[in-house]
Amino acid sequence: MQRKVRDNKAWFLVLPVFILVAFSAIVPIMTVVNYSVQDIFDQNTAYFVGAEWYREMLRNPALLDSLGRQFFFSFSVLAIEVPLGIAIALVMPTKGRMAAVSLILVAIPLLIPWNVVGTIWQIFSRADIGLFGYAVNALGIDYNYTSDPTAAWLTVLLMDVWHWTPLIALLCYSGLRAIPEAFYQAARIDRASKWAIFRHIQLPRLKSVLVIGVLLRFMDSFMIYTEPFVLTGGGPGNSTTFLSQALTQMAIGQFDIGPAAAFSLIYYLIVLLVCYAFFTAINQLDKAK
Amino acid sequence: MNWMAWTGVTATFFSVIGCILIFMTILEIKSPTLEKKGFLPIATTRGDKLFISLISAAYIHLGFLALVDTVLWVALCISVLWSAVVFRWG
């Protein structure tokens, strides 16, 4: 049971942030909502269409495909990056000079800007001049990410795994370092196996950082734009066109402001729901502590 | 405000949301909320229940738009009923 709050004056301290958020988020969202119910031709010509754009967007097969692709991509990314990040954190040295060296090496991909990552992988994966593409083809595997959707998907996934697994690894590394030595001593006295130590000591203690890591990676992968846009341009066909790219094409490429506003609000609601689920999970974990 | 492309419907929508938030703030000052555990899987405050009700309403409306061709008054009624259930037993 929470104690009753007797003095609410501290809420006035939140006022500056509220004003800032109002200008940076609330007013723009209100504008998007206004756009989403109108057919906008220019600044002075707009016709009210009600919920028509929402209906059209929710029944648009191309956008629903993008949504499906987006969920599949985000879950694939999590399924690979989380176990891999934990594994890397577990084998990283904890003491001596190598600990610092490994931390720097692991962190390097995180420091590279998104568009540069896309360019690196675009060149790296090319079958004619790229080391990775050339090597895979030399092994007898027909690999060309510009014409084969499966190869394009694998390349985008591989690129994301290379770019963002270090984040999970570093979060887990910090979580592992926070486990008191006494826990390991107790495990040694009990002659616990490495798996038992991982299962009963390390993994439960990593829960909090993993929830934050999964949240960050889900949100980021769900809003991915730059890397696949630079690497594949959404192709071949629409096979790697994710939500952000489909939305950008609609809003800026075709200048369909009304439908794009409706779809961006649907997108926002999905992100909001997932955020709330994770926020609740983090709160529950804190309470359990 | 012309650049925000306001319409009567969206102005009413945001006014209602604004009024709800002001009402909830006054209520919170007059009678601070306590966390309670109902049929929802988490213990919730009054604010949590409002958020859950609003986001549920949004999804109910989207569901209707995606699957059914009827007018949205039905979705609105279901949303209000669901909100009442969340506030009473959630």
Please give the Cα distance from B62 to B66 (Å, whole number).
6
CA proximity to B28, closest of B51, B45, B52, B53:
B45
Please give the Cα distance from A230 to A234 (Å, whole number).
9
CA proximity to B43, closest of B90, B88, B86:
B90
Inter-chain touch B10–A30, beta carbons under 8 Å:
yes
pLDDT digits (tens, 9 = 90+) for A160-218: 999 999 999 999 999 999 999 999 999 999 999 999 999 999 999 998 899 899 999 99
Instruction: Give me the pLDDT at residue A6, please.
Output: 66
Ramachandran category for residue A41: left, alpha or beta (phi over 0 → left; psi -120 to 50 → alpha): alpha
CA proximity to B56, closest of A27, A25, A272:
A272
CB atoms within 10 A of CB B83: 19
Residues ≥6 apart with Cβ < 8 Å to A39: A46, A47, A49, A258
On chain B, the residues whose CB falls within 8 A of the CB of A258 are: none
ipTM score of complex: 0.91
pLDDT digits (tens, 9 = 90+) for A217-236: 999 999 999 999 999 988 89
Instruction: Give me the pLDDT at residue A2, please.
Output: 54
* E strands present in chain A: 38-42, 45-48
Please give the Cα distance from A35 to A258 (Å, whole number).
5
Could you name the CATH architecture of A52-91+165-288?
Orthogonal Bundle (1.10)
Report the half-sphere exposure of B86 (CA within 13 A, side-chain side).
Answer: 23
Interchain contact A50–B (C-beta under 8 A): yes
On chain B, the residues whose CB falls within 8 A of the CB of A31 are: 3-5
Confidence check: pLDDT of B79 > 70: yes
Instruction: Give me the pLDDT at residue A83, please.
Output: 96
A3: which DSSP letter? P
CA proximity to A231, closest of A129, A142, A131, A126:
A126
Inter-chain touch B55–A269, beta carbons under 8 Å:
yes
Mean pLDDT of chain B: 91
B/e letters for A195-210, b = 16+ CB within 10 Å, e = fewer, are eebeeebbeebbebbb
- DSSP readout, A227-275? HHHHHTTT-STTTT--HHHHHHIIIIIS--HHHHHHHHHHHHHHHHHHH
Inter-chain touch A34–B34, beta carbons under 8 Å:
no
Interchain contact A40–B (C-beta under 8 A): yes
On chain B, the residues whose CB falls within 8 A of the CB of A40 are: 5
Please give the Cα distance from A109 to B56 (Å, whole number).
39
Instruction: Give me the pLDDT at residue A120, please.
Output: 94
Please give the Cα distance from A260 to A251 (Å, whole number).
5
- Give A266 to chain B, closest Cα distance, Å: 8
Inter-chain touch B34–A2, beta carbons under 8 Å:
yes
Please give the Cα distance from A242 to A66 (Å, whole number).
5
- Give B86 to chain A, closest Cα distance, Å: 17
Inter-chain touch B59–A54, beta carbons under 8 Å:
no
Chain B 28-87, residues with CB within 8 Å of chain A CB atoms: 28-29, 32, 34-35, 42, 51, 55, 58-59, 61-62, 65-66, 72
- pLDDT, tens digit only, all 289 positions of chain A: 555 556 777 878 888 998 998 888 899 999 999 999 999 887 778 889 989 999 999 999 988 999 999 999 999 999 999 999 999 999 999 888 899 999 999 999 999 999 999 999 999 999 889 999 999 999 999 999 999 999 999 999 999 999 999 999 999 999 999 999 999 999 999 999 999 999 999 999 998 899 899 999 999 999 999 999 999 988 898 899 999 999 998 888 888 899 999 999 999 999 999 989 988 888 887 777 6
Question: Which member of A5, A34, A276 has the closest CB to residue B6?
Answer: A34
On chain B, the residues whose CB falls within 8 A of the CB of A61 are: none
Chain A residue with minimum CA distance to B5: A34
Question: Which member of B5, B10, B62 has the closest CB to residue A58?
Answer: B62
- Give B5 to chain A, closest Cα distance, Å: 6
Report, as an integer, the average pLDDT of B31-59: 92
B/e letters for B22-37, b = 16+ CB within 10 Å, e = fewer, are eeeeeebeeeebeeee
Inter-chain touch A276–B6, beta carbons under 8 Å:
no
CA proximity to A261, closest of A272, A247, A275:
A247
Q: Position A278: which residue type? A: F
- Give B29 to chain A, closest Cα distance, Å: 7
Instruction: Give me the pLDDT at residue A5, please.
Output: 58
- Give A189 to chain B, closest Cα distance, Å: 39
Q: What's the pTM value of the predicted model, to 2 decimals?
A: 0.85
Please give the Cα distance from A219 to B45 (Å, whole number).
26
Residues ≥6 apart with Cβ < 8 Å to A64: A58
Question: Which member of B9, B34, B42 has the closest CB to residue A280?
Answer: B42
